[in-house]
Structure 1
Amino acid sequence: MSNLVIVESPSKAKTVQKYLGQGFEVAASMGHVRDLPKSKLGVDIENDFEPVYVPMKDKEEVIASLKKAAKKADKVYLAGDPDREGEAISWHLAQLLDIPMDAPVRVTFNEITKTGVQNGMAHPRSIDLDLVNAQQARRILDRIVGYKLSPFLWKKVRRGLSAGRVQSAAVKMIVDREKEINAFKPEEYWSIEAKMTAPSSKKQFDATFVGMDGAKTELHSESETNAVLARLEGAQFNVTGVKKSVRRKSPAAPFTTSTMQQEASKKLGFQTSKTMRAAQQLYEGVEIEGMGAVGLITYMRTDSLRVSDEARASAYKYIEEKYGKNYLPASPKVYKTKAGAQDAHEAIRPSTPELTPERVKDSLTPEQYKLYKLIWERFIASQMANALMDTVSVDIDANGCAFKATGYSVKFDGFTVLYEESKDDEENKVLPEINPGDVLKLKNIEGKQHFTQPPARYTEGSFIKAMEENGIGRPSTYASTISTIINRFYVERDGKQLKPTGLGEVTTDLLKAHFKQIVDTKFTAQMESSLDKIEIGEKDWVGTLKDFYGDFSDTLTKAETSMEGKRVKVPDEETDEVCEICGKPMVIKIGRFGRFLACTGFPECTNTKKIIKPTGGICPLCGKKILAKKSKKGKKYFGCEDNPTCPFMSWDTPVSDKCPKCNDGTTLFKKGGKMFCLKEGCGYEVAIKKEK
């Protein structure tokens, strides 16, 4: 008997094939095989939003191959990813391969391990039409917004623009944050910091002024601060109270999609798309030396914190063998999944905890290794005992002025021996032995001026957290949403920060004025909630689309009427560049292919040029700046700014380190695990220190 199992990718197919063995052929659909047509709406709005699906142009050969394989097979199993998209792909395949919708052919794998695959194959079910309808509703909703709203933006702002149900709300969040920053007015405040010693030790410690005459006191000016300092002249600093306690510090929960993306952004500097790409590879299977293809993590799109008993037992075994019984918790750690989360999958964890990062390191790419190490350590730590901190709080009085000093030290390191969240990285702050009644010796005291700070721009990590808190998008869409708003030039990266472009600000203001619901975070969150209810069968997908479309269509008609004959100008971004042809200033504009420099003398002067950023490196041939460039095929390389006069170019990346052998500021380059000098006759190279 022959069985055909259809998964989504070749790497997943290879891993699953290994566990199924003879009698099974595993093929890949390469993702979706059908979709709405690109050239038209593809949705019959008048006929209950009936979608018109067509085979995707680049999937014709794949479809033909799958049909041929299905005809030969006695049984076909549809094993797309265990989520809405995977269910929809399975539904499309069932229609193309003439498989009845009630046939038990749908199998899902939460992890691509022998156990995970065997469990999935042992429990086939029919296709879940609620899941399919939730995906269809999302796809049709996004298609309607995109196809109806984008032409409005073409007429009023610029051709080629796009609007989206989630992307437009996401851009508004970034635009609103920028407006907060620009409107922020800093306020002055002061602090008083004292350095003291106790009778028991010569080691200095810090104490901070907190109030006077029994009340908490805030200092808003230098004069207020000087008045307190004057009162403290010659004062005796007496210890009025010492409070000692033990603080328990609990480990963070294992990863969900959102927390994994946030932590990879903070700890590894990964962009969200890079994190999800590496996670997909780890889930689908990687060739491990001596083991073949192995799926290293559980499914990476989840907002559940649930952990299986088997995985917990494996973690306990490792913890006890590595650290000892006292590092096991008194009772199993159970983490509460937030309300409204989908609990179909476990938290993200290593599928085989015994496979430590070091065990598989040589078989992984650097990105895969770093992410696997992060996931593995986070999971193992989540199953470990709490850390215990000895804390001390000291109250000090000096002529009615109150100061406080705090200290802490690690009593038992617990889970922190392995992993801490990035925000928790801190050193011990140990106070000397201090007792009530001690008279402290003042070594130094000074007032310090401070100013309140504006809210920070979002990083990818903090933006994902904000989207999750606001209910914008879902774990499976965070990465694609960020990529979309950047690729469409509504948002740009400024270092690690996300900053709106002029185009993003103008478009958002236009949508806020005429399509308030589309950019409203609460409305977008309600829509996501409706889609979730369709998924569990609590809401009808056609009714949901009808409710949305009625208001949306009326709003679009009103907007087109009120904006008749009007256009919105995208502001140009000023630069210090001067046009080499006419001498006028150049500005940054956004065109179909991105940002470029244009002369303000247009139309008399039509000079334009690419924006090229210096790398900070110095050309080893002529000493001028090294610029990051792209070849005709889009591959990044580095070349001298004096091209074509200077022929220098390199595929290797310039770094901030300078060559110690040349000792003249010559830039070093890196490739693989080495840094080296490219200056003729030098030959210096050094291995890059590996991350611990």
Structure 2
Amino acid sequence: MGKSLLVVESPTKMKTLSKFLGKEFVIKATYGHIKDLPKSKLGVDIEKGFTPQLMTVKGKSKVVDELKKVSKDVEEILIGSDPDREGEAIAFHVADIVGKKKQVKRVLFHEITKKGVRDALKSPTILDEAKYDAQKARRILDRLVGYKISPLLWEKVSYGLSAGRVQSVALRLVCDREEEIEGFTKEEYWVVDVDLELQSGDAFKATLEKKGDEKIRIATQDEAETIKKEIEGKDLTIKKIEIKERHVPPQPAFITSRLQQEASRKLKFSPKMTMMLAQRLYEGVDVGEDGITGLITYMRTDSVRVSGEAIKDARQFINENFGKPYLPKTPHVFKNRKTAQDAHEAIRPTYVNLTPERLKPVLEKELFALYDLIWKRFIASQMAHEKLKTKTVDVESGEYLFVARGSEVTFDGFTRIYQEEREDEEAGTYLPPMKEGEKVRLNDTILNQRFTMPPPRYNEASLIRTLETKGIGRPSTYATIVSTVQDRDYAKKDKGRLVPTSLGVMVNKLLKEFFPLIVDVDFTAKMEDRLDLIEDGKKSWVKSLGKFYEVFQEALSAAQQGMKSLKKEEKETDIVCDLCGMKMLMRWGKNGEYIVCSGKPACKNKKNVRVESDGIIKVIEAEIKGICERCGGNLIEKRGRFGRFLACSNYPDCKYTAPYHLGFVCPEDGCTGKLVEKTSKKKKKFTSCSRYPDCSFATNAEPVEGPCPSCGAPTLFSYRKKTSCLRKDCGWTSG
């Protein structure tokens, strides 16, 4: 029998498969997509049924030539790209290139293990045209939105802006949340707690919850003080004690969105980083004696289903390592959401016996952390319930009812290896033994002033959860959606939370006004459902695009006519120029509002401003950050396309600029440079030495006060709650 050509998209996967397969297979990688729409033009023939004008991706000509050459000398062609829409597109493009579409077979690797690979090769399928149609529809939808709206934004707002179909909805969510926060009015309320002592001498606290049969809300300090006076000097009585046994079930193995959320919460990984690491774990990692092997199943899934064999392995492991009390009588079976595709299993380890402890010496730190999370979550999903004894105590003082809640763990169950986030307030609070009817002494009454709080800003994890709940995006797109909003400078992180930039607010405002359907949550969710129906072969991709484009074209025409040019728009203010006395004009720029002198071009005065919620314009005075070494003027902070920098206040007469100093000196021995803030081309901030290239020091960690207790370096660095010295050959760290 002749050789078979197996084509995959990743060189890592190619390497792993080479280990499992013999010489009868020639394995080649496409290194991602080999065909795509052109970057320089729309690339979609709308008049001819939205035909995509696909081109070979730049730099992939050699890959294409190699595939053509090798395919001529083999008996069979198999394509094993990822088992999702993008993987199916790659499969069709490869089949098109080699010109043997009918002979080409598709293999779906749900796990890159010897057994998983052999099983997939035993049962190859044909290319899935419906899945490819869904990919084409999504790609063309995104291209139509991006290439039709973006030039309009360039013309009216600022060059280089872009509008993505799903990213625009995510931006709307972030902006809407910011509006909620800004429009929120705090309301004062008071909480009354009592410190009580039992006859045994044990103490506990309770909170006032009712007056008579009604829930109580205390609006002012006077009301709280009145209640305090009414109960002072009186004994309280334990009216009722309710004890319940509570069984807490484990959560299922991860789906993509939950993995991203949990990795963000527990490991502080961005969704993008989580998916990059998960892809490596899936495609194969060198684990020492066993060589390269795939450590987890396919990582883009919305199904909680797990194979019977994997459950059997997990139960055997639990029984052998934790004992019978931790093994439920029957396996846990979890239900999928109605919208789940169920094409792939949940994310789980491929080999249960490859424990995190076993792999720790051979895995990089971040890879280990993610594998540890996935492995423990899966094993925990098949362990016994956690058992709690909850106690609720009602304490009475006249017409006032105070309540104390507590719980104690009677059996740890799955939490022995995996602790989930606890939402119930009473968790972990111990209440001493007591009896109904027992009198208790009031030791103290504590009055706590509180305020209602606005909804929190989204972080990456909570934004993904909201997108998932509302049906926006799919497992393969969540990470891209969240990172794109930030990469376009429409939102930035502040203490881990997403805050819309002035640019993001303005783009969102224009899209809501002129393209309401594009940023409508329900409409976008329905489009996602339609893509799923196309994948299932129940809808035509061409007709679906036609319906969308008809509505979209109307909105586009209206926007071209009605959208004002912010580039040209100027609005007179009451602010007087401090150089020439003329009125200042409000303008809008990529970085927000600013004012210029109406006496331009003779007067070049320009200032940054902030528009308050009540419409008042406040000038942002530039803080002096140093003295210009060229002309002696003041150095002030400015913002450019690569972040903050220092510039001379005498601009344009003096054009001196300098990197933004952070107030710390370089830690390298003998270096006199200062630490400056820089931004990479990918808009990632980092810290480096001002004497570059003479000094090559650079880091992503945050500088903090030194000195190093080991080597005396003047600056230390903080990263993930640890403080370290980054001077070469030192390595000191705080635990």
Decide: shared fold, TM above 0.5: yes
Instruction: Please say if 1:626 is aligned against 2:678.
Output: no
Contact persistence 2:248–2:386 (CA under 8 A): yes
Instruction: Please say if 1:412 is aligned against 2:411.
Output: yes
Tell me, in whole angstroms, the C-alpha distance in 2 between the residues paired with 1:686 and 1:283.
Answer: 34
The aligned runs of 1:29-68 (5 Å cut-off) are 29-68=30-69
Contact persistence 2:725–2:732 (CA under 8 A): no
Tell me, in whole angstroms, the C-alpha distance in 2 between the residues paired with 1:134 and 1:482.
Answer: 22
The aligned runs of 1:552-631 (5 Å cut-off) are 552-563=552-563, 567=567, 569-570=588-589, 571-572=592-593, 574=620, 576-578=622-624, 589=639, 591=641, 626-629=675-678
Instruction: Please say if 1:82 is aligned against 2:130.
Output: no
Name the SS for the 1:118 alignment partner. Answer: helix
Contact persistence 2:393–2:404 (CA under 8 A): yes
Tell me, in whole angstroms, the C-alpha distance in 2 between the residues paired with 1:657 and 1:587.
Answer: 22
Name the SS for the 1:349 alignment partner. Answer: coil
Contact persistence 2:659–2:676 (CA under 8 A): no
Instruction: Please say if 1:264 is aligned against 2:251.
Output: no
Could you say if the C-alpha distance between residues 519 and 283 of structure 1 is closer, same or farther in structure 2, counting changes exceeding 3 Å?
Answer: same
Tell me, in whole angstroms, the C-alpha distance in 1 between the residues paired with 2:308 and 2:471.
Answer: 30
Could you say if the C-alpha distance between residues 260 and 85 of structure 1 is closer, same or farther in structure 2, counting changes exceeding 3 Å?
Answer: same
Tell me, in whole angstroms, the C-alpha distance in 2 between the residues paired with 1:436 and 1:634.
Answer: 63
Name the SS for the 2:48 alignment partner. Answer: coil
Could you say if the C-alpha distance between residues 118 and 482 of structure 1 is closer, same or farther in structure 2, counting changes exceeding 3 Å?
Answer: same
Instruction: Please say if 1:183 is aligned against 2:211.
Output: no
Could you say if the C-alpha distance between residues 650 and 618 of structure 1 is closer, same or farther in structure 2, counting changes exceeding 3 Å?
Answer: closer
The aligned amino acid for 1:476 is S
Instruction: Please say if 1:134 is aligned against 2:183.
Output: no
Instruction: Please say if 1:208 is aligned against 2:257.
Output: no
Could you say if the C-alpha distance between residues 224 and 647 of structure 1 is closer, same or farther in structure 2, counting changes exceeding 3 Å?
Answer: farther
The aligned runs of 1:418-433 (5 Å cut-off) are 418-423=417-422, 428-433=428-433
Could you say if the C-alpha distance between residues 657 and 249 of structure 1 is closer, same or farther in structure 2, counting changes exceeding 3 Å?
Answer: farther
Structure 1 residue 507: deviation in Å? 0.7
Structure 1 residue 528: deviation in Å? 0.8
The size of the alignment, in residue pairs, is: 682
2:112 is matched with 112
Tell me, in whole angstroms, the C-alpha distance in 2 between the residues paired with 1:13 and 1:308.
Answer: 25
Could you say if the C-alpha distance between residues 96 and 640 of structure 1 is closer, same or farther in structure 2, counting changes exceeding 3 Å?
Answer: closer
User: 1:444-469 CA distances to partner (integer Å, 9 max, x unpaired)?
Assistant: 21111001111111111111101111
Tell me, in whole angstroms, the C-alpha distance in 1 between the residues paired with 2:456 and 2:109.
Answer: 40
1:379 is matched with 378
1:361 is matched with 360
Could you say if the C-alpha distance between residues 449 and 684 of structure 1 is closer, same or farther in structure 2, counting changes exceeding 3 Å?
Answer: same
Could you say if the C-alpha distance between residues 136 and 632 of structure 1 is closer, same or farther in structure 2, counting changes exceeding 3 Å?
Answer: closer
User: 1:284-326 CA distances to partner (integer Å, 9 max, x unpaired)?
Assistant: 0000111011100000000000000000001001100111111
Tell me, in whole angstroms, the C-alpha distance in 1 between the residues paired with 2:720 and 2:418.
Answer: 27
1:546 is matched with 546
Could you say if the C-alpha distance between residues 347 and 672 of structure 1 is closer, same or farther in structure 2, counting changes exceeding 3 Å?
Answer: closer
Name the SS for the 2:207 alignment partner. Answer: strand
Contact persistence 1:264–1:270 (CA under 8 A): yes
The aligned amino acid for 2:289 is G
2:697 is matched with 650
1:234 is matched with 233
Could you say if the C-alpha distance between residues 677 and 623 of structure 1 is closer, same or farther in structure 2, counting changes exceeding 3 Å?
Answer: farther
Tell me, in whole angstroms, the C-alpha distance in 2 between the residues paired with 1:43 and 1:414.
Answer: 56
Tell me, in whole angstroms, the C-alpha distance in 2 between the residues paired with 1:328 and 1:71.
Answer: 55
Tell me, in whole angstroms, the C-alpha distance in 1 between the residues paired with 2:731 and 2:223.
Answer: 58
Structure 1 residue 22: deviation in Å? 2.4
1:345 is matched with 344
Tell me, in whole angstroms, the C-alpha distance in 2 between the residues paired with 1:128 and 1:94.
Answer: 12
1:92 is matched with 93
Greater displacement, 599-608 / 118-127: 599-608
Could you say if the C-alpha distance between residues 425 and 190 of structure 1 is closer, same or farther in structure 2, counting changes exceeding 3 Å?
Answer: closer
1:306 is matched with 305
Structure 1 residue 595: deviation in Å? 6.4
The aligned amino acid for 1:265 is S
Tell me, in whole angstroms, the C-alpha distance in 1 between the residues paired with 2:723 and 2:645.
Answer: 33
Percentage identity across paired residues of the two chains:
42
Structure 1 residue 214: deviation in Å? 3.0
2:527 is matched with 527
The aligned runs of 1:165-180 (5 Å cut-off) are 165-180=165-180
User: 1:36-58 CA distances to partner (integer Å, 9 max, x unpaired)?
Assistant: 11111111001100111111111
Tell me, in whole angstroms, the C-alpha distance in 2 between the residues paired with 1:560 and 1:436.
Answer: 74
The aligned amino acid for 2:177 is R
Tell me, in whole angstroms, the C-alpha distance in 2 between the residues paired with 1:210 and 1:158.
Answer: 55
Q: Unaligned stretches of 5+ in structure 2?
A: 570-587, 594-607, 609-619
State the TM-score, normalizing by the size of structure 1: 0.92
Tell me, in whole angstroms, the C-alpha distance in 2 between the residues paired with 1:562 and 1:354.
Answer: 64
Tell me, in whole angstroms, the C-alpha distance in 2 between the residues paired with 1:616 and 1:347.
Answer: 49
The aligned amino acid for 1:487 is D
Could you say if the C-alpha distance between residues 342 and 604 of structure 1 is closer, same or farther in structure 2, counting changes exceeding 3 Å?
Answer: farther
Instruction: Please say if 1:69 is aligned against 2:70.
Output: yes
1:248 is matched with 247
Contact persistence 1:6–1:79 (CA under 8 A): yes
Tell me, in whole angstroms, the C-alpha distance in 2 between the residues paired with 1:6 and 1:355.
Answer: 28
The aligned amino acid for 1:81 is D
Structure 1 residue 382: deviation in Å? 0.6
Structure 1 residue 583: deviation in Å? 6.2
State the TM-score, normalizing by the size of structure 2: 0.86
Could you say if the C-alpha distance between residues 142 and 609 of structure 1 is closer, same or farther in structure 2, counting changes exceeding 3 Å?
Answer: farther
Could you say if the C-alpha distance between residues 507 and 610 of structure 1 is closer, same or farther in structure 2, counting changes exceeding 3 Å?
Answer: farther
Instruction: Please say if 1:668 is aligned against 2:716.
Output: yes
Structure 1 residue 212: deviation in Å? 1.8
Tell me, in whole angstroms, the C-alpha distance in 1 between the residues paired with 2:346 and 2:457.
Answer: 29
The aligned amino acid for 1:216 is K
Answer 1 or 2: higher relative contact order, Cα 8 Å, separation at least 6.
1
Could you say if the C-alpha distance between residues 157 and 671 of structure 1 is closer, same or farther in structure 2, counting changes exceeding 3 Å?
Answer: closer
Contact persistence 1:674–1:686 (CA under 8 A): no
RMSD across aligned positions (CA)? 3.1
2:18 is matched with 17
Tell me, in whole angstroms, the C-alpha distance in 2 between the residues paired with 1:665 and 1:190.
Answer: 50
Contact persistence 2:667–2:726 (CA under 8 A): no
The aligned amino acid for 2:372 is K
Contact persistence 2:643–2:678 (CA under 8 A): no
The aligned amino acid for 2:152 is F
Structure 1 residue 517: deviation in Å? 0.8
Contact persistence 2:192–2:447 (CA under 8 A): yes
Tell me, in whole angstroms, the C-alpha distance in 2 between the residues paired with 1:228 and 1:425.
Answer: 28
User: 1:521-562 CA distances to partner (integer Å, 9 max, x unpaired)?
Assistant: 111111111111100011100001000111111111111112
Name the SS for the 2:42 alignment partner. Answer: coil
Name the SS for the 1:315 alignment partner. Answer: helix
2:515 is matched with 515
User: 1:614-671 CA distances to partner (integer Å, 9 max, x unpaired)?
Assistant: 6799887699963344699999874456x59x98763465665855747999433589
Tell me, in whole angstroms, the C-alpha distance in 2 between the residues paired with 1:615 and 1:443.
Answer: 51
Tell me, in whole angstroms, the C-alpha distance in 1 between the residues paired with 2:250 and 2:726.
Answer: 47
Q: Unaligned stretches of 5+ in structure 1?
A: none
The aligned amino acid for 1:275 is T
Tell me, in whole angstroms, the C-alpha distance in 2 between the residues paired with 1:256 and 1:575.
Answer: 49
Tell me, in whole angstroms, the C-alpha distance in 2 between the residues paired with 1:650 and 1:585.
Answer: 25
Tell me, in whole angstroms, the C-alpha distance in 2 between the residues paired with 1:59 and 1:289.
Answer: 33
Structure 1 residue 472: deviation in Å? 1.6
The aligned amino acid for 2:10 is S
Name the SS for the 1:550 alignment partner. Answer: helix
Greater displacement, 521-530 / 606-615: 606-615
Tell me, in whole angstroms, the C-alpha distance in 2 between the residues paired with 1:212 and 1:620.
Answer: 69
Could you say if the C-alpha distance between residues 23 and 684 of structure 1 is closer, same or farther in structure 2, counting changes exceeding 3 Å?
Answer: closer
Tell me, in whole angstroms, the C-alpha distance in 1 between the residues paired with 2:401 and 2:202.
Answer: 21
Tell me, in whole angstroms, the C-alpha distance in 2 between the residues paired with 1:575 and 1:293.
Answer: 58
Greater displacement, 147-156 / 554-563: 554-563
Tell me, in whole angstroms, the C-alpha distance in 1 between the residues paired with 2:212 and 2:720.
Answer: 63
Tell me, in whole angstroms, the C-alpha distance in 2 between the residues paired with 1:590 and 1:629.
Answer: 11
2:483 is matched with 483
